[in-house]
Homo-oligomer: A and B are copies of this chain.
Amino acid sequence: MIVKEFLNKAVSRRGFLGSAGAGAAGLAAAGLGFQQADAAPLEPPANWDYEADVVVIGYGGAGTCAAIEAAEAGASVLAIEKTTTAGGNTSHSGGIVYLGGGTPLQKMHGFDDTPENMYNYLVAQMGPTADKNRIQIYSEQSVGHYDWLTQRGVVFGQKFWEGKVVQPPSEEGGLSFSGNEANSPYSEIAIPMPRGHMPAGAGAQVYAPLKATADKLPIQTIYNTQGERLVVDKSGAVVGIQVRSGIPDPGVPNATPVALSGEIFVKANKGVILTTGGFQFNPEMLAQYAPWYLSAFPLGGPSQVDDGSGIKMGQSVGAALYDLSFASPWKFVYAPGEMCKCILVDQVGARFVGESRYGQDVGDLIIRRNGGVAWQIFDTPTYEAAKAAGGFFSEPVGTADTVEELAASINVDPAILANTVSFYNEQAKQGKDPLFLKHEEFLTPLETGPFLAFDFGVSTGIAFITLGGLRCTENAEVINSFGEIIPGLYSAGKTAPGINPEYYVSGSAVGDGTFWGRAAGRAAAAAASR
């Protein structure tokens, strides 16, 4: 999901918004007339302004797949998007889709994956709060989802990228190991299989074919319009939504012109589908639910999305939640893999993670365990090798002939750092890392000075998305805290994580969002009209 360019963009945007205050960004938002949704559900109004069988709120990857399936099943569909652009996070993402169980692309490269093998990895990886039933369905239907996507025009790059890559180059795409599949202990639990499927052109080329598919279907779209409050009837069923439009006609091609501005009531005969993403761009929700990540950079599609509005609307009608404290804060050591020959140390000079682990493991420990602090330590040969392989280096914060001397430059305990390096070296010479199980490929002793230290803490950039959200059935029906379905309400994408409420591997957001978006569209279309 992350490419360097994208990360840089996220960093710039944060910087911009951070400094803008009530300036340009603030005014732009105000000009659109948006305000934070701030109230409980409403009773049905005397008059509805719009009506459709299925109303989709948030027209990104999940919402578009929901709209496609609902429209293909014969339902009338109205999709409402807050920004002037469809695509959301999917079109801005790195474009990896997490698929497996024996896809044609896996088979082409001789990877004999099975749904069971994929399930075993995901259950071990995704943490104990993830829904095993939904992981099973996702694994079993993953080849089918691959087919569905490719039949609608998604073209995955055909090359396999061996070893440690954050992701394949944007211009080529292809297949890669996009999680911890090859890292112990996962490599002993399930046969390591690459499951990151990426088209050339990254996320834009996952989304463009889906949008083209949707555009051929009778799907009404309204842009510049924000979901605010659900409308609930006396039985507790969701029968519509009150939205707020900023600009009557934003001039988006194929969009339904909105004659009204301000509060608009939209009737949903069969269901409302919430696909508004996570809440990483809502600092107030972050402060409440996931304050650890306020020091990191929110990552996502056009700014102002991922505002938590879908999650809050779900909560307002009693939806059960996955913990909102979970996020995926990425800090990748590799790119190229040779970078993993460094060791990472914490605020006192001790190692805290296997350096070849997936970026979420590294980033989360830096933020939640180390208070934001981490340092990369190289000796001269590993530094030169990483540089020769194309590794990117900022200026070192310290260079010294001995490890003890290096400690002073990064304010860690010299005795701890010396012990950390010497114990690591002893073990690396035997080809093992019993402390953190770093992949043996990168176990090179750090023995030849000068030694170099690089800042790898949160201030050097850790991007994140939130993971928690609404709990749903396997049909993407939102459930309440008693496990009962809330009639008329569906959700998918980061508003309602299917397989990844607690942990994430690259491609799981786009994979999960498009997959359960489709499920939501089918289920809503099949519901009885109210």
Contact = CB atoms under 8 A, between A and B. Distances in A.
A236 interface: yes
B416 A236 contact: no
B318 A315 contact: yes
Q: Which of A38, A413, A426, A482 has the most CB of B within 10 A?
A: A482
Given A128-B292, A236-B40, A312 B348 contact: no
Interface string A498-515: 000000000000000000
A289 interface: yes
Contacts of A435: 348, 350, 413, 416
Interface string A478-507: 001111100000000000000000000000
Contact of A40 (B38, B323, B480): B480
A278 to B, nearest CB: 14
Given A128-B291, A128-B292, A350-B435, A316 B413 contact: no
A406 interface: no
Interface in A269-308: 288-289, 291-292
A268 B154 CA distance: 58
Task: Give the bracket for the number of chain A residues in contact with chain B.
Answer: 35 or more
A1 interface: no
Given A348-B434, A415-B426, A435-B350, A482 B40 contact: yes
Query: Interface centre among A129, A234, A471, by most B CB within 10 Å?
Result: A129
A85 interface: no
Given A289-B323, A318-B318, A348-B435, A481 B427 contact: no
B321 A318 contact: no
B348 A39 contact: no
Contacts of A291: 128-129
Nearest to A324: B323
A410 interface: no
Nearest to A349: B434
A120 interface: no
Interface in A16-60: 37-41, 43
B325 A315 contact: no
A148 interface: no
A419 interface: yes
Contacts of A413: 434-435
Contacts of A39: 482, 484
Most-contacted residue by chain B among A419, A471, A481 (CB, 10 A): A481
Contact of A480 (B315, B348, B480): B315
Nearest to A321: B321
A456 to B, nearest CB: 20
A317 interface: yes
Number of copies of chain A assembled together: 2
Contacts of A427: 415
Interface in A406-433: 413, 415-416, 419, 423, 426-427
Contacts of A318: 40-41, 315-318
A335 interface: no
A320 interface: yes
B316 A481 contact: yes
Contacts of A481: 311-312, 315-316
B482 A288 contact: no
A434 B321 CA distance: 40
Contacts of A415: 423, 426-427, 434
B321 A480 contact: no
Contacts of A289: 129, 323
B128 A482 contact: no
B288 A129 contact: yes
B434 A40 contact: no
Nearest to A427: B415
Contacts of A312: 481-482
A365 to B, nearest CB: 11
Interface of A: 37-41, 43, 128-129, 234, 236, 288-289, 291-292, 311-312, 315-318, 320-321, 323-325, 348, 350, 413, 415-416, 419, 423, 426-427, 434-435, 471, 480-484
13 contacts: A37-B482, A38-B483, A39-B484, A128-B291, A129-B289, A129-B291, A129-B325, A288-B471, A316-B480, A316-B481, A316-B482, A318-B318, A416-B423
Given A315-B318, A316-B482, A325-B325, 8 more contacts: A38-B483, A40-B318, A128-B291, A289-B323, A312-B481, A315-B320, A348-B434, A348-B435
